[in-house]
Amino acid sequence: DPDSLLKALWDLFGFIFGVLQSITIPVNLAFVIDTALQWEVFEAIMDTYFLCDIIIGFNTGFYLEGALVMERKEILINYFKTWFILDLIGSFPYSWILDGCIVGDCTTSSQDNSSMYYKAPQLLRLLKLVRFLRILRLLRVLKMQKLLINFDENLISDLLNNTLTFTKIAINIFFLAHWMACGFYLVSREDSSDDPEAWVFSSRLIDKPIFTRYVSSLYWAI
């Protein structure tokens, strides 16, 4: 039942996880932060949640012209037509598969030192690919917008409705500025190998703390 309390709690966790990943993924991608083991475990939990959310989507009714549809065939057709592709692209565990490939290559290379030098560039490209594929998880932000719309439809107070509208605008502005700042720093850092005069070096930011680099990127991005 899409109106059940259990579904509402499930969507609430999805919204919180989506906000966290929308903040942390661009930061990790741009500033290459060494994450703690606890956070990696938490990320695996979030990835598992979004994979399970696909299964939930196949078993959740929907409204059609004001009528609740609970027939399994209609639910499957509707989910395939609407959110399935987006959920699959945004939730597929690319990093799990590529991390396994990297570990396998490192194990093989450690046993054969002569091949380690030849595989080093390939491993580096795989590591970069893992980081960039995480951008696809940001597609979940579109699902967050859907959750906010569903919540908005259930509000009966004008004050709460106006508060939610203001909150949605603030969230959109925050994420836009956040992604621009991270993207601005990422592009400059990637171009620094070809351009030693890139602003991250000319402003001597490359060795500064992450917070200083982020605030400077945010300032120049907006």
Residue with tokens 């009528």: 67
User: 3-class DSSP state for residue 194?
Assistant: coil
For 93-139, write each residue's pLDDT tens digit: 776 666 655 555 555 545 454 444 444 455 555 555 656 666 777 77
Q: Can you read off the two tokens belonging to residue 144?
A: 């967050």
Percent of the chain, pLDDT > 90?
A: 6
pLDDT at 177: 92
Residues in the chain: 222
pLDDT at 178: 92
Q: How would residue 75 be classed by pLDDT, with cut points 50, 70 and 90? A: very high
pLDDT at 77: 92
Tell me phi and psi for residue 67, to 5 degrees: -105, 135
Between residues 207 and 75, the one the model is more confident about = 75
Q: Measured between alpha carbons, how far is 144 from 76 in angstroms, rounded to an integer?
A: 21
Q: Measured between alpha carbons, how far is 61 from 73 in angstroms, rounded to an integer?
A: 11
Q: Measured between alpha carbons, how far is 55 from 49 in angstroms, rounded to an integer?
A: 10
User: 3-class DSSP state for residue 203?
Assistant: coil
**How far from chain centre, in Å, is Cα 63?**
28
Residue with tokens 């932060």: 33
**pLDDT surpassing 70 at residue 176:** yes
CB 110 within 8 A of CB 116: yes
pTM assigned to the model: 0.75
For 12-70, write each residue's pLDDT tens digit: 888 888 888 888 888 888 887 777 778 888 888 988 998 899 999 999 988 888 788 99
Mean pLDDT over the full length of the chain: 76
Residues forming a β-bridge with 67: 64
CB 213 within 8 A of CB 185: yes
